[in-house]
Amino acid sequence: MNTHAMDTVANVIPTLRYRDAPAAIDWLCRAFGFDRHLVVPGEDDSIAHAQLVFGKGMIMLGSARDDAFGRHLNPPHDLGGSGTQGACLIVADADAHYARAVAAGAQIVYDIKDEDYGGRSYSCLDPEGHLWSFGTYDPWA
């Protein structure tokens, strides 16, 4: 019996925190092609909660804050620049996506290349140090 699967669009949704969440939302949409699904403003120009979609995927994010949840989730720059996880997103055209991300100022950490296992991919950091990987390899295909 599979107790973890549900009939939903996506049942794994990464969650991130940003020091400047309003700027991060704008940048993620411009640089990577996310779309705003829901954005809930908080106090003092913060974001209480946001949901951004990318195809069938979603991320949730909010402003970094010192609360019960926030003490377990910090922006990489608050941890010396190193994150503990990254997100991999499937795109139709890795070269076009790469050009869009570079034009928006993404810091490329693994340049675009053809992978031995198939597909073409690259990895970059967003302005607050979160690691993102984009490629054409589809593990479901």
Tens digit of pLDDT for each residue in 66-110? Answer: 888 888 888 888 888 888 789 999 999 999 999 999 999 999 999
Q: What is the pLDDT of residue 80?
A: 82
Measured CA to CA, the distance from residue 6 to residue 39 in angstroms comes to 25
Alpha helices, DSSP H, located in the chain: 21-32, 94-103
Q: How far apart are the first and last CA of the chain?
A: 24
Angle, CA of 32, 103 and 40, to the nearest 5°: 40
Average per-residue pLDDT for the chain: 93
Global confidence as pTM: 0.92
Q: What is the pLDDT of residue 83?
A: 81
Measured CA to CA, the distance from residue 19 to residue 5 in angstroms comes to 33
Tens digit of pLDDT for each residue in 102-123? Answer: 999 999 999 999 999 999 999 9
Q: State how far Cα 140 lies from the chain centre.
A: 20
Q: What is the pLDDT of residue 114?
A: 98
